[in-house]
């Protein structure tokens, strides 16, 4: 029957079949949607690797793309250490870890409390990890954490600042990763020469719109464009979009410089360096961060997002599809030896289109400026903690003093009445 109808339509035209044109339009539309969805879904990772016994530190592993990467690696037997801003006693985190262990049939999944918006929190974890004898095993660091302020949210708003007073995109997307890798670098360099060590850094194609910041001498708040000003003078020097692009450009520039420094390191055992840095662009994905960005961080924007959800479903990847290039970077054999500093997108190598990323002079200026910036920030943070501790101690002493004074007066009064 279908063959007869098809033959009739072919020889006599669609008009000879009842409803032929309507069926043709529906089938054509569905076929077009399928092709568009297949195109926007991107490439699928086909590489496999035995991840049993591999120790992996991850940021952003509790939501979005990072959660899918964590799930896939856990299912392959990796030992995961998830760095999360949630307190370790948070019921959400406890349930998440337990569910992930059950789904992956893997008990080697733990979490550490590390707030990427707080440089002191990063230092506490990283120094604890490094200060260990013998050195801890470390096979991979995957940096999936990412923050992007919604349009119209303002760079200088209260929610747009880290605990160190930095613009949030700059602080979390760039400085937090710089701080973490800088402190963990001894733990990376000390790994045995036969171990395949990979540092996978998540980025975004928006880096092409970024401009590397100009550091001011003796600055304590970061690049000139991102320094907070007095309230009376507060005029954001950049839009959330440009701030995000700058943070990604700086992160990529640092990552390539970090790769070069690793390769220049002379191991005591005279063996070649076995650590590689890999840049990954997962593409545009339906993550909580993307939803917040597209909804402008507002209720009416969320309503518009829901109304347009069929469009977002079509052109944006799912979290699982966005994780594919991260998995490819983690498991593809050719990146385990002799090949680092590559930029991957859709499970294949891509050319970096921004010259500053591979410019050695730009890398040097950024690195030295960030080092000075970090010294200033950590000094300020230490002084702030010392003041808070002193104030807390004075309050406690005052309270005890008042309590003792009260007890003394009461005792004196009793003794006087006895006399």
pLDDT at 289: 86
Contact 140, 191 (CB under 8 A): no
DSSP labels, 181-199: HHHHHHHHHTS-TTS-EEE
Q: What's the pTM value of the predicted model, to 2 decimals?
A: 0.83
Q: What is the pLDDT of residues 13-27, one digit of tens each?
A: 666 666 666 777 788
Q: What is the pLDDT of residues 271-326, one digit of tens each?
A: 989 999 999 999 999 988 888 888 887 888 889 989 999 999 999 999 999 999 99
Is the pLDDT at 105 greater than 90? The verdict is yes
The lowest-confidence range among 58-67, 80-89, 215-224, 279-288 is 215-224
Q: Give every CB contact of residue 261 below 8 A, 6+ residues apart in sequence.
A: 185
**Active-site annotation holds for 345:** no
Name the band, by pLDDT with cuts 50, 70 and 90, for residue 401.
very low
Q: Name the residue ranges covered by the structural domains of the chain.
A: 2-41, 55-282+317-376
C-alpha span between 117 and 167 (Å, rounded):
10
Catalytic residue among 54, 221, 248, 354: 248
C-alpha span between 179 and 112 (Å, rounded):
16
Average pLDDT over residues 245-261: 95
Name the band, by pLDDT with cuts 50, 70 and 90, for residue 82.
very high
Percentage of the chain with pLDDT > 70? 81
Whole-Å CA distances, 49 to 45, 73, 75, 228, 331: 11, 10, 12, 46, 5
pLDDT at 2: 66
C-alpha span between 125 and 114 (Å, rounded):
7
Name the band, by pLDDT with cuts 50, 70 and 90, for residue 103.
very high
pLDDT at 21: 62
DSSP state of 216: P
**Three-state DSSP class for 282?**
coil
Is the pLDDT at 11 greater than 70? The verdict is no
Q: What is the pLDDT of residues 352-378, one digit of tens each?
A: 999 999 999 999 999 999 999 999 999
Contact 295, 150 (CB under 8 A): yes
Average predicted confidence (pLDDT) for the chain: 83
Question: Domain spanning 55-282+317-376 has what CATH number?
Answer: 3.40.50.720
Contact 347, 325 (CB under 8 A): yes
């Amino acid at each position: 029957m279908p063959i007869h109808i098809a033959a009739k339509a072919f020889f006599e035209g669609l008009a000879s079949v009842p409803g032929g044109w309507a069926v043709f339009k529906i089938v054509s539309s569905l076929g077009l949607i399928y092709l568009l969805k297949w195109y926007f879904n991107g490439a699928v990772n086909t590489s496999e690797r035995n991840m049993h016994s591999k120790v992996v530190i991850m940021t952003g592993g509790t939501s979005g793309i990072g959660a899918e990467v964590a799930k896939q690696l856990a299912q392959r037997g990796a030992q995961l250490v998830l760095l999360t801003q949630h307190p370790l006693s948070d019921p959400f985190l406890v349930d998440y870890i337990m569910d992930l262990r059950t789904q992956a049939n893997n008990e080697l999944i733990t979490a550490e409390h590390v707030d990427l918006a707080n440089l002191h929190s990063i230092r506490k974890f990283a120094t604890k990890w490094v200060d260990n004898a013998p050195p801890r095993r470390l096979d991979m660091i995957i940096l999936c954490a990412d923050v992007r302020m919604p349009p119209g949210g303002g760079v200088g708003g209260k929610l747009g600042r880290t605990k160190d007073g930095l613009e949030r995109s700059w602080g979390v997307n760039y400085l937090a990763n710089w701080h973490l890798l800088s402190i963990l670098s001894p733990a990376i360099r000390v790994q045995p020469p036969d171990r395949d060590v990979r540092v996978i850094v998540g980025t975004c194609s928006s880096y092409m719109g970024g401009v590397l910041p100009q550091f001011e001498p003796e600055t304590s708040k970061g690049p000139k464009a991102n320094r907070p000003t007095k309230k009376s003078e507060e005029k954001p020097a950049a839009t959330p979009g440009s701030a995000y692009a700058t943070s990604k450009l700086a992160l990529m520039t640092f990552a390539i410089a970090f790769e070069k420094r690793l390769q220049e390191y002379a191991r005591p055992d005279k063996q070649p360096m076995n650590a590689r840095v890999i840049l990954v662009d997962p593409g545009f994905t339906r993550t909580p961060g993307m939803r917040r960005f597209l909804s402008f961080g507002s209720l009416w924007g969320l309503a518009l997002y829901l109304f347009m959800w069929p469009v977002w479903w079509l052109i944006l990847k799912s979290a699982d599809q966005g994780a594919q290039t991260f998995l490819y970077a983690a498991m593809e054999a050719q990146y385990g030896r002799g090949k680092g500093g590559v930029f991957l997108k859709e499970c294949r190598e891509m050319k970096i289109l921004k010259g500053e990323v591979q410019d050695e002079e730009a890398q040097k200026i950024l690195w030295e400026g960030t080092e000075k910036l970090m010294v200033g920030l950590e000094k300020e943070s230490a002084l702030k903690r010392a003041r808070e501790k002193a104030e807390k101690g004075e309050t406690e002493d005052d309270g005890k003093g008042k309590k003792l004074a009260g007890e003394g007066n009461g005792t004196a009064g009793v003794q006087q009445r006895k006399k």
